[in-house]
Structure 1
Amino acid sequence: MLGLQAIVAVAAFFVGGAEAIGQATCVSFQSTSSSFSIVSNGKAAPIYVSPDEWPGVQLAAATFAEDIERVTNILPVVSNVTSSGVQSGSIPIIVGTLGQSSLIAQVINQTNLDVSSIDGQWEAFMTKVVSNPLPGVDSAYVVIGADRRGTIYALYDHSEQFGVSPWYWWADVPTKQNSDIFVSAAGCAHGSPTVKYRGIFFNDEQPALQNWAMEKFSNGTGAYYTGSPFNHMFYNKVFELILRFKGNYLWPAMWSSAFAVDDPTNQYYANMYGVVMGTSHEEPMMRSTPVEWDIFGVGAWDYATNKQNIYDFWMAGAERGKPFENVYTVGMRGLGDLPMTSPSVGDDITLLEQVISDQRQILTDVFNGTNVTTIPQMWCLYKEVLGYYEQGMTVPEDVTLLWTDDNYGNIERLPIASERNRSGGAGVYYHYDYVGDPMDYKWITSSQIAKTYEQMSLAVDREAVRIWILNVGDLKPYEMQTEFFINYGWDASIWTPDNLNTFVSAWAQREFALSTEDTETITQIIANVSMYNSRRKPEMLNGTTYSLANYREAEYMLRDWEIVRNASTAIYDKLPSAMQAAFFELVQHPVEASYTINTMWIYAGLNNLHASQARLSANDYAEKVKELFQQDWDLEVEYHTILDGKWDHMMDQTHIMYYYWQQPMQDTMPYVTYVQPRKQSLTGVMRIVPEQSLGAWPGDNMNDCAQGYSCPNPTMTLDPYVPFQNRYVDVGSGGPVPFTFTVTSNASWLDLSPSSGSISPENPEQRVYISVNDWSQVTGAETAMINFNASAYTEYEIVEDTELLNVPITFIANHTVPPSNFSGFVEGDGVISIEAAHTASNASVAGINWIELPGYGRTLSGITPWPRMGDNGTNFTAGTGPSVAHENRTYDFYNFNTIGQAGNVTITTFVGPSLNANGADRPIAFAIQVDDESPLTEYFIPDSTPGTLPAAWDGMDGFAATNVVPVMTNFTAPPGAHTLKIWMVEPAVVVEKIVIDTGGLMPSYLGPPESMIV
């Protein structure tokens, strides 16, 4: 995990208060000899736009002027003028689009301005100071877009640098105030984006987004046909946001909604703003399915039996969408996000090929004989549709193939070399929100920027850059992650594994104007929250997700969440009140909500465990669960009441106690139980629970031994290389009787802390730590006896069995020592655990190296071969490719034991759950080697039927739920020093952690903490 004190390197062009994230700045707040004044001395430069300019540009110019007023309290005059209407002597801002604006055309003709860098480029822009641009005008700041969105992006890019966040409305980020604004004479520029269509998809929008919109944008009943609240007033807010963070594409809300029917002006406004519309993977030809079909369709949704009615339905959708800029979804799925129901896959393929042929004929007819290959079309290879493609279904090459992830952020397939020359190109449909198996997740942030980057960088390298669409659910609270996805698609060349943190730090600085120290802290808070939540989606948690007994896993999770919460709260508390609402929405609420639910579940687990151990402290944990359950609701209420209820309902999503994949109909508190506090345990006053045990002494417990009764007293072990350097024993209360206890040992080399204490119903627990104070006094394995003795208070007239007042523990200290000349990881507790990034060796082959992906995965980071395409996408046989291996001390390990002392160890390599995105004949793989044994190649994603995911992907212990694939390999490794190597076989594998079991590995969710190094 990432430490809150880590230093974050911020790229130079992000520093300061005038930045668009990922865009070099041209804005300042102090004049220089060459700068142009946007606002100075209380006067704003006028803004001129040609009357023949695109409506969306005119609208953006007006909003741009409002942004200037937000910053300076001075509103520029915006005028629609021809050159003859330009005020002589003015020093204006001239805004326009190549090929559309007559005003810009005259500037170019008069000055011979070189616009070749953007001419003909998709969404490119340039700005600069131009002398004598028009008659009577000595100088102007000219803002030129290659097309309408290029011009709009140029304006909003400047707004962002002025101090207006794209999220000023959607997350209530206050505008940074400055009295003066200047721009450099050279201005700002940007070429065509990496990805042509960059968009978001509102999905699973009931209950939160829909309930909120119903209250804020509707009369309470919604649209006539559908009851949907998503009218143009809602979408106009969305369109502006999309353009401000440099997106251009939208799949509209679809649950009980139909974009063109909910409000007949929705399509008009989308086109006016300049946003390209599409529809989801199951909604062909710009028609909502199943909503519109249920209202207007005739007969069954079955093209084999009801072709004409469905054809006419699609024809109407194409005609309705004709005046506007759209990407048409082609193909067909069953109603309600289901497969079609033909007798066989072959029948489905034949039928679907006919469907697409007919849909293209519709487009040809509707667009008056226009060459259909020029009309943007997309076929989404989602779920079973991918199977059709893999089994031979073809579509015309001008149709964009939209590949998809597994709904959990792992792209199933990307274009292979033979598919990269399609004129329609390829794209990716990606999820930050999902409804379905193995379980919904749609409540809180749980996607990592590092993972998004890792997967989408593959899409860039494999040329899937025509369309990127992100399922954002309700949009909130995924604001920052959504912006990163779109920003990366805007310009992928900016971001590398080494500077991903600068996106977050720049975002935090832009939104909150924090100090450098606090910006760094926020960067780590966000990284940790997304890492902790991605380990297991909050909806999937239960009381035993994290081990309650082994490796102190649950208590370390409690500690880590507490650290994150305290760090966030410290910043929140010192922010100006005007900034707190934004910080609450974007940082504090996700932190508090995640802390609350994670802590609640762990406490629920501890409650049940302590009750099974007859510990009175179970009741305290039950009360804590109840408090946290109510705290979860309090946080929801707080979210809904900030800013006079602006975001009422936005956190309506249920998220506690899922019973199956679908959302629960009500949040339900985890099950807790109570120990009778007025009745003494049959086992006496004292409960003794050693570390690594689920049982308790004295008395009977199924976890004390296999028999479950008449069990021997506990035994504990410790060696010098246990990462914690000690053991603990919990002393607890078994009922209402207070008692004191003492802890004694017959070994001088043991420290017991504390050695005595008092237990009562008010203080029902005390932890005693046991450590070796001087390992030089221990030779080999030495045994000591530790006695826990209780003295019950005499005023309680309870007859005590002497045996119940004393619990002896056998303590074995095993002084294992590697040779003095060994450097590397050393076995402790019968295991060796290594974070994959902790290697100093990087053997390059064909220009490919293993690099670290900071913040990726579940514990620290990942390592992956880089560049992703390496030597033209080549792969290697085991032992010939790039390796991470032995140098200095890393990936060297020393073991004292083997499994069953038979000379063997089991190595579990934890890898990211990347799928076989490089095609069926190139399944993802790596090779692992110990010493001079032959490297073993691991193809770790099981085969599956095309269009389906492997069985191991599903379920609560599957790859999706656990967000990792454990790959187990057996090796011979007798006690001694060894070298481990990981070899590249296929690109795109990400290795997170390596665990070597020498016979002592215990169950846990994240695996043992990293071993000690000598």
Structure 2
Amino acid sequence: MFKQFAFLTLLFIGLLTNAQNVHNTLSLLPNYIKSKGEKGDFRIAANGTTAKIIVDQDDWKGVIRAANDLADDVRKVTNVAFPVVKDTKLSPGAIIVGTIGKSKLIDQLVANGKLKVDAVKNKWESFVIQTVGDNLIIAGSDKRGTIYGIYDVSEKIGVSPWYYWADAPVKKSTDLYVKAGRYLQESPKVKYRGIFINDESPSFSGWSAKHFGGINSKVYTHIFELLLRLKANYLWPAMWGNAFNEDDPMSPVLADEYGIVMGTSHHEPMMRAQKEYTKRKEQIGAWDYVTNAENLKKFWTEGLERNKNYDNIITMSMRGDGDVAMGKGDDAENIKILKQVISDQREIIEKVYNKDPAEVPQLWAIFTEVQRYYDAGMNVPDDVTLLFCDNNWGYIRRTAPAKELKRKGGMGLYYHIDMNGGPWNDRWINTTTVPKLHEQFSLAYKSGIDRIWIVNVGDLKPKEMPIDFIMRYAWNPDAISANQTFDYMQDWAASIFGKEHAAEIAEIVSKYSKYNLMRKPEVQDPNIFSFVNYHEAERVQKLWRDFAAKAEALEKKMPKQALDAYYQLVLYPTKASAGVAEIYLAAGRNNLYAKQGRVSANDYAERARELFELDKKLTARYNDSIAGGKWKNMMSDVHLGYQKWSMPRENTLPPLDMVTPLASPSLGVAVEGSTDAWPGTEVKAELPQFDALDKQRYYIDVFNRGTGLVQFTAKANQPWIRLSTTKGKTVKEQRIYVDIDWKKAPADKSSGLIEINQGNTKVPIIINALKKTAPKSKDNYYGGYSGEFSIPANKFSANVPGNNAKWIVLSGLGRAEACMGIDPTTAPSSTPENAPRLEYNIFLPEAGAANVLLGILPTQDVNPGRGLRIAVSIDNGEPVIIDARKGYHDEFKEYTPENLSRSKVLKPLPEFGHNYALISRGKPRRTEVFDNQRWLNATLDVKTEGIHTLKVFMIDPEVVLERIIVNPNDKYPSYLGAPER
């Protein structure tokens, strides 16, 4: 039997025992760099000398620039100069860099039969690295293909793509060789892969102003280079208070030279930034196509004329001024207007480019209310990419519709790992895990969303790790499976910090992001976790403290050159996240204890203040000390004290209550399972039930409401009730543990009483015990005699494949150790009799109705009209099919504390069971989006008491199961549910 497994302590068990990597998940090519050469190998550097790079001066400027970067990278690694020569003559012992059809050097090698390029020629962003005689050839199919090949060598010799943006240390080496052979990189599976610099004030804008004089080309060249080193190619620039093309006219010029495809955000059409409009608003007039179409068309035409010679993807259509819905809410009228907008924009494109608009890359962002328009039948020409979106918090709103799979323009995804806006800000720190990214991007990709992946990354920092994963994963999503996500984390850590501590760093970074995903900092609240049930708050606090301590201890083992990177990527996000989480835990305990009259409430208020000061110091170190002040202002986001979705003016503590002690010692008593305190409460004090199967231990807190020393006695009226102490004295509080001597306890149900005394003050506490024989079973099972119990989805007793799919373990996903998802996610919907199913052995002590809650990830209505269904049954009973969409609508609106939990979008319904029960008690800010979990409720008929088989069936393939709670007991509510037993 699974007895009292602590839910959160199971997190990540087995992470460090993953199978050996089949390949390094950071690269699709094998590691061809060696420190010792053999016959046929190419020598980059050895014995204090280096090879030279030869590049055709007529090749792309971006290629020549990247060749110089490679030379500098070799210098960083070896401390020896590495010359670059612009020439068209081959030279022995040199690295020959060039683009097929653009470089005379490469074309000469092809013509002479020394280099075969059939596998890459005329392909998109492909390259080959090959030893040819005593030369090393890097040949690209196009400009970016060549650049990617150059940077592939840079990374493999020891220069991380994050050498600038995270101060990743360069791996020093004196001897560098390329193993003889041919290394072919095929074209990426996702054509356009990029980031959106958004939410860039105060952090990114303050940092840029301090170091570069503003958000200008000096900043952007660092971003361009990062993208290229990550083999990405696409950028939406900062736009809050900025206009990329006008603030610094060199920005678009350099973007094109570097090889970056530029775009504008989802609500900035025709290559015009919103700020370009707002500063001309008086001349242009209203952002209203009904009343001001001619002026807007002129404005858009000028934007395209300015940018037409660069590599762009044009954002089509329009929204209201300032990234809001347009019009007065009449969808039919808006659709009619937008159809005309797009038609007119296509005419502008044809006129400006003097070609068929179908030859010019365009996208239509199906963002927020535009999703309704698309669902209502609105569409755009077949050559325009449909850019589907997530729900702003990392769950995609649509998979690729079957009717669009042959679409010429394909389909793309706009995705958030940073959010400023509804439903709530998520911008300060990384709250996104690699397993979540893998699950969501895999779902998108396998359905056919593969033309564009553009990711809102906020200020870029501190979202380095998820940016790295998404850009690498986008090249070939088939190369990293769901069970390799920790392999990726370990490879990522090793690439920056070396192999020695890679596993520890990977675990720490995985866990801090996972715990943040459990409850993101901006939506923390003092009342989220239970302080009286299942030791929940204590367990959460221990998790954070343990990993903050591990991160601090590991810092002492880091070499000096890695300390800046370690602080940015590991220590700060871990320790600062832990501090914020504990601030709210301390505030919650303070609030509860103040309500109970405990003088110790003041200690928790003081602890919250100490942590608040620590948060300031951690931020100051980030901004002022690391890397010699390089990141001044970058960590400026307010992250404490959110009362609505938007960022507060300053960090503030949650409300704290101070207790004024009574003039003399005064007894107070609190018991596990209740927020009340005695004397002073009408209901009787009672501990949760004890039973002989689970052998629980519960606590009683004896505390002081006044000054001086409380002296107390504790006495049980039954010999089978055991107390950890029978007397004591305390200035503040003392805990008494209670358990049962089951050898002495009478059979079946029995009750007793514990009395806590201080002078004439007496507090009786009711004890209930149940002594029954454990059910006999040859198999392990979950459940017991004392109400609610949980089952982790991956702890099944049987996993039975269906006709077209199977359940698989998605390690590290969700709050717990793992989730269960479907492979393939493109499988057709099923009926229970043909579906894959999971089975769990459970013990139910009574016949009758059993309430089963299925905790699933908050997957959106990705395939509207079909359903988002899962089924559950007991034994051979008729499966109950539950549709997770029931009562759910995913359109966003404005959110305030008053309407948030009751809003049309996120309103939890009775069908969602446990979650709704908690909200009905007034728990603040509880929604499936914030909780990262949706609860589905089913009532099942149990014929007899005893061991049963709980079965869970796939109906629709996108539903991901994390947790099952059986017979939820809302007398003892908690955020995470009872631990499994």
Classify the TM-score, shorter chain: over 0.9
The question of 1:189 aligning with 2:184 is answered yes
Q: Percent identity?
A: 36
Distance in structure 2 (CA, Å) of the matches to 1:941 and 1:996: 22
The question of 1:980 aligning with 2:939 is answered no
Instruction: Say whether the 8 Å CA contact 1:897–1:998 is kept in structure 2.
Output: no
Give the one of 167, 170, 175 matched to 2:170.
175
1:714 aligned partner, one-letter code: E
1:939 aligned partner, one-letter code: D
Instruction: Flag the 1:307–1:860 CA change in 2: closer, same or farther, 3 A.
Output: same
In the alignment, which residue of structure 2 is the partner of 1:100? 102
Mapping of residues 554-569 of structure 1, within 5 Å: 554-569=537-552
Distance in structure 2 (CA, Å) of the matches to 1:235 and 1:954: 42
Instruction: Say whether the 8 Å CA contact 1:719–1:828 is kept in structure 2.
Output: yes
The question of 1:849 aligning with 2:803 is answered no
In the alignment, which residue of structure 1 is the partner of 2:318? 332
In the alignment, which residue of structure 2 is the partner of 1:813? 769
2:769 aligned partner, one-letter code: A
The question of 1:957 aligning with 2:902 is answered no
Distance in structure 2 (CA, Å) of the matches to 1:103 and 1:998: 72
Which moved further from structure 2: 818-827 or 565-574?
818-827
Distance in structure 1 (CA, Å) of the matches to 2:736 and 2:936: 37
Give the one of 624, 628, 632 matched to 1:648.
632
Instruction: Flag the 1:531–1:773 CA change in 2: closer, same or farther, 3 A.
Output: farther
Instruction: Flag the 1:775–1:381 CA change in 2: closer, same or farther, 3 A.
Output: farther
The question of 1:893 aligning with 2:842 is answered yes
Instruction: Flag the 1:640–1:754 CA change in 2: closer, same or farther, 3 A.
Output: farther
1:694 aligned partner, one-letter code: T
Mapping of residues 924-939 of structure 1, within 5 Å: 924-939=868-883
* SS of residue matched to 2:193: strand
- Report the Cα offset of residue 287 of structure 1: 0.6
In the alignment, which residue of structure 2 is the partner of 1:693? 674
Give the one of 813, 819, 839 matched to 2:796.
839
* SS of residue matched to 2:854: strand
In the alignment, which residue of structure 1 is the partner of 2:601? 618
Mapping of residues 509-524 of structure 1, within 5 Å: 509-515=494-500, 518-524=501-507
Instruction: Say whether the 8 Å CA contact 1:65–1:75 is kept in structure 2.
Output: yes
* SS of residue matched to 1:284: coil
The question of 1:39 aligning with 2:63 is answered no
Instruction: Say whether the 8 Å CA contact 2:242–2:275 is kept in structure 1.
Output: no
Instruction: Say whether the 8 Å CA contact 1:8–1:502 is kept in structure 2.
Output: no
Mapping of residues 415-494 of structure 1, within 5 Å: 415-494=400-479
2:386 aligned partner, one-letter code: L
Give the one of 825, 836, 848 matched to 1:882.
836
Give the one of 627, 642, 646 matched to 1:662.
646
Distance in structure 1 (CA, Å) of the matches to 2:869 and 2:527: 31
* SS of residue matched to 1:205: coil
In the alignment, which residue of structure 1 is the partner of 2:702? 731
Distance in structure 2 (CA, Å) of the matches to 1:847 and 1:985: 11
In the alignment, which residue of structure 2 is the partner of 1:314? 300
2:426 aligned partner, one-letter code: Y
Which moved further from structure 2: 962-971 or 522-531?
522-531
Cα distance per residue 1:137-168 (max 9 Å; x no partner): xx200001111111111111111111111111
- Report the Cα offset of residue 677 of structure 1: 3.6
- Report the Cα offset of residue 778 of structure 1: 4.7
* SS of residue matched to 2:287: coil
Which moved further from structure 2: 744-753 or 472-481?
744-753
- Report the Cα offset of residue 999 of structure 1: 5.2
Instruction: Say whether the 8 Å CA contact 1:258–1:292 is kept in structure 2.
Output: no
Distance in structure 2 (CA, Å) of the matches to 1:963 and 1:816: 38
* SS of residue matched to 1:851: strand
Cα distance per residue 1:592-635 (max 9 Å; x no partner): 11100100101101001111111111010010011111111111
The question of 1:57 aligning with 2:63 is answered yes
The question of 1:771 aligning with 2:777 is answered no
Distance in structure 2 (CA, Å) of the matches to 1:777 and 1:925: 47
* SS of residue matched to 2:950: strand
2:733 aligned partner, one-letter code: E
2:138 aligned partner, one-letter code: V
2:607 aligned partner, one-letter code: K
Cα distance per residue 1:82-127 (max 9 Å; x no partner): 12xx44xx30100111111111000111134221111121111111
- Report the Cα offset of residue 371 of structure 1: 2.3
Instruction: Say whether the 8 Å CA contact 1:905–1:999 is kept in structure 2.
Output: no
Distance in structure 2 (CA, Å) of the matches to 1:20 and 1:967: 38
Mapping of residues 491-506 of structure 1, within 5 Å: 491-506=476-491
In the alignment, which residue of structure 1 is the partner of 2:18? 9
Instruction: Flag the 1:577–1:379 CA change in 2: closer, same or farther, 3 A.
Output: same
Distance in structure 1 (CA, Å) of the matches to 2:328 and 2:517: 38
- Report the Cα offset of residue 6 of structure 1: 4.0
Instruction: Say whether the 8 Å CA contact 1:22–1:487 is kept in structure 2.
Output: no
Instruction: Say whether the 8 Å CA contact 2:423–2:892 is kept in structure 1.
Output: no
- Report the Cα offset of residue 293 of structure 1: 4.1
Q: TM-score, normalised by structure 1?
A: 0.90
Give the one of 505, 523, 533 matched to 1:540.
523
The question of 1:786 aligning with 2:792 is answered no
Cα distance per residue 1:783-803 (max 9 Å; x no partner): 34333344xxxxxxxxxxx33
Give the one of 711, 717, 720 matched to 2:689.
717
Instruction: Say whether the 8 Å CA contact 1:952–1:959 is kept in structure 2.
Output: no
Instruction: Say whether the 8 Å CA contact 2:385–2:412 is kept in structure 1.
Output: yes
Distance in structure 1 (CA, Å) of the matches to 2:857 and 2:417: 17
In the alignment, which residue of structure 2 is the partner of 1:679? 663
The question of 1:597 aligning with 2:565 is answered no
Q: TM-score, normalised by structure 2?
A: 0.93
Cα distance per residue 1:185-235 (max 9 Å; x no partner): 1143210111000000011111111111111110xxxxxxxxxx2110000
In the alignment, which residue of structure 2 is the partner of 1:888? none
- Which contiguous aligned blocks of 4+ residues in structure 1 show a shift greater than 6 angstroms? none
Instruction: Say whether the 8 Å CA contact 1:10–1:505 is kept in structure 2.
Output: no
In the alignment, which residue of structure 2 is the partner of 1:117? 119
Distance in structure 2 (CA, Å) of the matches to 1:50 and 1:31: 28
Distance in structure 1 (CA, Å) of the matches to 2:99 and 2:872: 57
Which moved further from structure 2: 533-542 or 255-264?
533-542
In the alignment, which residue of structure 2 is the partner of 1:867? 824
In the alignment, which residue of structure 1 is the partner of 2:36? 30
- Report the Cα offset of residue 749 of structure 1: 4.0
2:818 aligned partner, one-letter code: S
The question of 1:144 aligning with 2:139 is answered yes
In the alignment, which residue of structure 2 is the partner of 1:283? 268
What is the aligned length? 943
* SS of residue matched to 1:122: coil
- Report the Cα offset of residue 809 of structure 1: 2.4
CA RMSD, 1 decimal: 2.0
Give the one of 67, 74, 79 matched to 1:73.
79
1:717 aligned partner, one-letter code: Q
- Report the Cα offset of residue 32 of structure 1: 2.6
Distance in structure 1 (CA, Å) of the matches to 2:889 and 2:581: 36
Distance in structure 1 (CA, Å) of the matches to 2:396 and 2:218: 35
In the alignment, which residue of structure 1 is the partner of 2:88? 82
Instruction: Flag the 1:323–1:720 CA change in 2: closer, same or farther, 3 A.
Output: farther
- Report the Cα offset of residue 279 of structure 1: 0.6
Give the one of 925, 935, 955 matched to 1:966.
935
Instruction: Say whether the 8 Å CA contact 2:391–2:890 is kept in structure 1.
Output: no
Distance in structure 2 (CA, Å) of the matches to 1:1001 and 1:897: 19
- Report the Cα offset of residue 772 of structure 1: 3.0
* SS of residue matched to 1:977: strand
Give the one of 941, 954, 960 matched to 2:885.
941
* SS of residue matched to 1:250: strand
Instruction: Say whether the 8 Å CA contact 1:720–1:775 is kept in structure 2.
Output: no
Distance in structure 2 (CA, Å) of the matches to 1:80 and 1:253: 35
In the alignment, which residue of structure 1 is the partner of 2:5? none
Distance in structure 2 (CA, Å) of the matches to 1:328 and 1:580: 42
Distance in structure 2 (CA, Å) of the matches to 1:55 and 1:908: 60
Distance in structure 2 (CA, Å) of the matches to 1:731 and 1:22: 62
In the alignment, which residue of structure 1 is the partner of 2:3? none
In the alignment, which residue of structure 1 is the partner of 2:367? 382
* SS of residue matched to 1:486: helix
Give the one of 859, 862, 865 matched to 1:917.
862
1:879 aligned partner, one-letter code: E
- Report the Cα offset of residue 519 of structure 1: 2.3
